[in-house]
């Protein structure tokens, strides 16, 4: 019942990806998550220890400050992503790195993170720049991770869902 209802909000092609392509996407995601992103995630422990970033309730920032900092991270990350994404479309490097991300014709949520490992590192760097500049509590780190993942999956889902709070983010 839910899927037919959602069809009216579909903004991309109505050609679903095959199970084979979805499986291929899933395998690349597993590699990128375990071999590239997991070491970076594990490194956040050392990051928080090295920079003495607190995680206790007493020093947790107010929600409005978290929101402003997440907005700041969004501006930093989007600026980084815009310019580096344009660079990845340059004719001399597109076919080696970024072409992988454009392999699928119909977007689906998992495809948001389907990319060449170098692209994952290059574009992922922008995500960490804001954290390095603005992080003053572990709760901010997790708030930014949550907002960014929701936004990425939403953008690549192929749907324009009404009353979506992510539509408030320019």
pLDDT at 100 over 60: yes
What pLDDT, on the 0 to 100 scale, is given for residue 1?
A: 40
Q: How many domains does the chain have?
A: 1
Query: In residues, how long is the chain?
Result: 170
Q: Is residue 23 part of a domain?
A: yes
Q: Is residue 9 part of a domain?
A: no
Q: Is residue 125 part of a domain?
A: yes
Q: Is residue 3 part of a domain?
A: no
Tokens of 29: 């995601």
In terms of residue numbers, what domain contains 149? 18-167
- Residue-wise pLDDT for 23-37, tens only, equals 988 999 899 889 988
Higher pLDDT, 18 or 156: 18
3-state secondary structure at position 10:
strand
Q: Is residue 8 part of a domain?
A: no
Q: Is residue 7 part of a domain?
A: no
Q: Which residues contact 114 (CB under 8 A, 6 or more apart)?
A: 25, 28, 29, 100, 101, 103, 104
Higher pLDDT, 10 or 35: 35
Mean pLDDT over 40-54 rounds to 87
B/e letters for 13-33, b = 16+ CB within 10 Å, e = fewer, are eeeebeeebeeebeebbeebe
Q: Is residue 131 part of a domain?
A: yes
What pLDDT, on the 0 to 100 scale, is given for residue 104?
A: 76
Tell me the C-alpha distance between 164 and 109, whole Å.
Answer: 16
Handedness of CA 18, 36, 101, 155 (dihedral sign): positive
pLDDT at 88 over 90: yes
Tell me the C-alpha distance between 124 and 128, whole Å.
Answer: 7
Q: Is residue 69 part of a domain?
A: yes
- Residue-wise pLDDT for 111-166, tens only, equals 777 889 999 899 889 988 999 899 899 999 999 989 888 887 777 776 777 767 76
- Residue-wise pLDDT for 55-79, tens only, equals 888 989 999 999 999 999 999 999 9
Do residues 158 and 108 make contact, with C-beta atoms less than 8 angstroms apart? yes
């Amino acid at each position: 019942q839910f899927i037919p209802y959602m069809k009216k909000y579909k903004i991309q092609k109505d050609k679903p990806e095959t199970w084979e392509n979805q499986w291929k996407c899933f395998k690349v995601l597993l590699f990128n998550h375990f071999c590239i992103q997991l070491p970076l995630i594990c490194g956040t422990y050392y990051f928080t220890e090295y920079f003495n970033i607190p995680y206790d309730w007493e020093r947790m920032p107010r929600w409005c400050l978290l929101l402003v900092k997440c907005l700041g991270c969004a501006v930093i990350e989007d600026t980084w992503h815009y310019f580096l994404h344009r660079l990845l479309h340059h004719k001399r490097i597109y076919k080696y790195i970024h072409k992988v991300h454009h392999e699928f014709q119909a977007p689906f949520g998992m495809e948001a993170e389907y990319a060449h490992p170098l692209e994952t590192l290059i574009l992922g760097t922008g995500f960490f720049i804001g954290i390095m500049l603005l992080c003053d509590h572990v709760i901010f780190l997790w708030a930014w991770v949550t907002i960014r993942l929701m936004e990425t999956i939403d953008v690549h889902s192929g749907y324009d869902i009404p009353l979506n709070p992510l539509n408030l983010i320019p």
